[in-house]
Chains A and B, each alone.
Chain A
């Protein structure tokens, strides 16, 4: 997944004028990375009924440490509320650090039963890569999680791994990222490509993801942008007219 910079820059230039201007510019530079061709029927119904319940299922990168900062789930909820006036957006989270996909799927039925969401945002793949979980197992867990959520009446959106330049030579993400991409296409699940979005921010210098710091400011801005772009993806997924056009947004 490395080395896409020249291609991305060309795409960025092409996509430039078409971008909406509602988010901070720092988020917006990566908006064209958020592509989705799959609809979210349960979400569409929920929006029509004016109440959307979201469950975020995730691991450590869905949190900010110390509880001081707001991570992306809360920011997603707020952004959706702004984008969907009149719709009540509520949020439940099932987020614990260092969990693999298999572990999350085990916890999923209980969370679904208590939250009763129409949308499950599923962030996974990092702990699996760190522990080099068998990719077949990872793949099966993804399939099982999607089926469990759908049976419970919820759509699924995947979030893949973070781009983490410092640890890039230590965690072999690519196999797991590819597995997620493949399962997403097969199961027609939108994939929020967090890795590419953050990679672009790092390449363009939007956010300095290399620096060693204890401060939360950059982390919070990154999570804010992720929440906002995620909200875009979810809202766009329910505009059927745009699904088959080939132009930029």
Chain B
């Protein structure tokens, strides 16, 4: 086996914060239903979407932050920290669920339309809150757009033991993760959901991207460097992005569909998001390769003010993610109760992002004053800062 690899560089890679921040904005825009602004988001132009970016970078920063903690304090302490983080995310999820219930209850009271008697059946679950709320606390009942945090909880619980392996043999850890992904496809592994079906983001599938991110952080990226700079590989990535773009266009313009040979359709469809179909992974990897190629780590613009709003959001991802989910509920509420004109959609989108940036700036400020407030104590080896939140 390969010798253990430590995190390669200790200084902060702002690209991680930047792209995680952008992913958070895109997730917010995509989560507002019927939002005209969401046509700019990447899911409309290829197979993968902002979720892949978010999960990969979260894996990368988790390895970076907790990897160092593990080297400094040992396995038990850092694993305990990872699990504490999972608990915080669980609390955040339950909090968002409470807000969701509030919105739903309001809609149930105020809405009636003979066109939509069938659709209003979705509110039936309010008739037996005893079951529904219990199932929500067990992470089995997950309303629309509230699937990401439960996934994140599972990823972190799994990450605690994997970190041990990652620090000893990163490649073995990656192979283990890929095997679980393969078994998931072979044996249909997933967690059950309520009232039917399975988790919309299958943790057995998505852990691959998370662990791959961690692997990259722990020296894997350095090992891939030769490949990542090869013009041939970059060309391949571009070609694949172009292919995915064309296929995506056939969804919006069915007439183009006749140019997709049946064999190709049979092979590529369905492009499964639940189980993170391999074409989605390839699309994300192509995007990442092209991005890393054109945006070097030491790109001076990364420190400019233009990117600061996205970077500061990326540095406080959990808080800003939750806020984004809340804001998308609120945005939809504004559309239904006030106005859904296109100008309003732009306004709500811009305002939402502004609120996310302001909140992120506020969290940064709190962190600074808390650090000052603790007085002359020696700075604890706190994981929070090196690569943003995990």
Q: Do these two chains really belong together in a complex? A: yes
Q: Which residues of A are interface residues toward B (Cβ below 8 A)?
A: 2-7, 35, 37, 59-61, 63-66, 69, 97-98, 126-127, 130-135, 162, 164-172, 175, 178-179, 181-182, 185-186, 199, 202-203, 209-216, 218-219, 222, 244, 246
Q: How far is the CB of A237 from chain B (nearest CB, A)?
A: 14
Q: A207's closest neighbor in chain B, by CB?
A: B115
Which of A37, A185, A218: most chain B Cβ within 10 A?
A185
Mostly, the B contact residues are helix
Choose from A203, A211, A246 the contact partner of B255 (Cβ within 8 Å).
A246
Q: Is the CB of A182 within 8 A of B252?
A: no
Q: A243's closest neighbor in chain B, by CB?
A: B258
**B residues less than 8 Å from A98 (CB atoms):** 118, 121
Q: Is the CB of A166 within 8 A of B197?
A: no
Choose from B33, B36, B197 the contact partner of A5 (Cβ within 8 Å).
B36
Provide a sorted-by-A list of 26 A–B residue pairs whose CB atoms are within 8 angstroms: A2-B35, A3-B40, A3-B41, A37-B254, A61-B115, A63-B117, A65-B117, A97-B118, A127-B118, A127-B121, A130-B119, A130-B121, A132-B193, A133-B196, A162-B116, A166-B119, A168-B332, A169-B103, A169-B145, A185-B269, A186-B266, A210-B336, A210-B340, A214-B114, A216-B114, A222-B115
B110-141 interface (Cβ within 8 A of A):
110-123
Is residue B169 within 8 Å, beta carbon to beta carbon, of the partner chain?
A: no
A152 to B118, CA, bound (A): 29
Is residue B107 within 8 Å, beta carbon to beta carbon, of the partner chain?
A: yes
Q: Is the CB of A3 within 8 A of B39?
A: yes
Q: Is the CB of B116 within 8 A of A37?
A: no
**Interface residue tally of chain B, by bracket?**
35 or more
Q: Which 3 residue pairs of A and B lie closest in terms of their CB atoms, listed nearest first?
A: A60-B118, A168-B33, A3-B39
Q: Which residues of B are interface residues toward A (Cβ below 8 A)?
A: 30, 33-41, 44, 103-104, 107, 110-123, 143-145, 193, 195-198, 200, 251-252, 254-255, 257-258, 265-266, 269-270, 273-274, 328-329, 332, 335-336, 340, 342
**B residues less than 8 Å from A210 (CB atoms):** 335-336, 340
Choose from A37, A132, A135 the contact partner of B195 (Cβ within 8 Å).
A132
Contacts A2-B35, A3-B38, A210-B336 given; indicate if A170 touches B116 (C-beta within 8 A): no
**A residues less than 8 Å from B107 (CB atoms):** 166-167, 170
Q: Is the CB of B119 within 8 A of A126?
A: yes
Q: How far is the CB of A53 from chain B (nearest CB, A)?
A: 26
Mostly, the A contact residues are loop
**A residues less than 8 Å from B269 (CB atoms):** 182, 185-186
Q: Is the CB of B332 within 8 A of A5?
A: no
**A residues less than 8 Å from B118 (CB atoms):** 59-61, 97-98, 126-127, 162
**A residues less than 8 Å from B329 (CB atoms):** 169
Q: Is the CB of B252 within 8 A of A4?
A: yes
Contacts A131-B196, A164-B116 given; indicate if A170 touches B38 (C-beta within 8 A): no
Contacts A2-B38, A167-B122 given; indicate if A219 touches B115 (C-beta within 8 A): yes
Choose from A59, A134, A164, A209 the contact partner of B196 (Cβ within 8 Å).
A134
Q: B271's closest neighbor in chain A, by CB?
A: A178
A244 to B255, CA, bound (A): 9
Q: B339's closest neighbor in chain A, by CB?
A: A210
A15 to B265, CA, bound (A): 28
**B residues less than 8 Å from A131 (CB atoms):** 195-196
Choose from A65, A171, A178, A202 the contact partner of B270 (Cβ within 8 Å).
A178
Q: Is the CB of B115 within 8 A of A169?
A: no
Q: Is the CB of B251 within 8 A of A181?
A: yes
A37 to B265, CA, bound (A): 16
Q: Is the CB of B200 within 8 A of A172?
A: yes
Q: How far is the CB of A101 from chain B (nearest CB, A)?
A: 13
Q: Is the CB of B254 within 8 A of A168?
A: no
Q: Is the CB of B119 within 8 A of A6?
A: no
**A residues less than 8 Å from B121 (CB atoms):** 60, 97-98, 127, 130
Choose from B33, B122, B270 the contact partner of A130 (Cβ within 8 Å).
B122
Q: Is the CB of B257 within 8 A of A132?
A: no
**B residues less than 8 Å from A127 (CB atoms):** 118, 121
**A residues less than 8 Å from B270 (CB atoms):** 178-179, 182
**A residues less than 8 Å from B252 (CB atoms):** 4, 7
A16 to B102, CA, bound (A): 44
**B residues less than 8 Å from A179 (CB atoms):** 270
**A residues less than 8 Å from B258 (CB atoms):** 37, 244
Contacts A178-B270, A246-B255 given; indicate if A134 touches B198 (C-beta within 8 A): yes
**A residues less than 8 Å from B195 (CB atoms):** 131-132
Choose from A7, A135, A167 the contact partner of B116 (Cβ within 8 Å).
A167
Q: How far is the CB of A72 from chain B (nearest CB, A)?
A: 11
**A residues less than 8 Å from B116 (CB atoms):** 61, 162, 164, 166-167
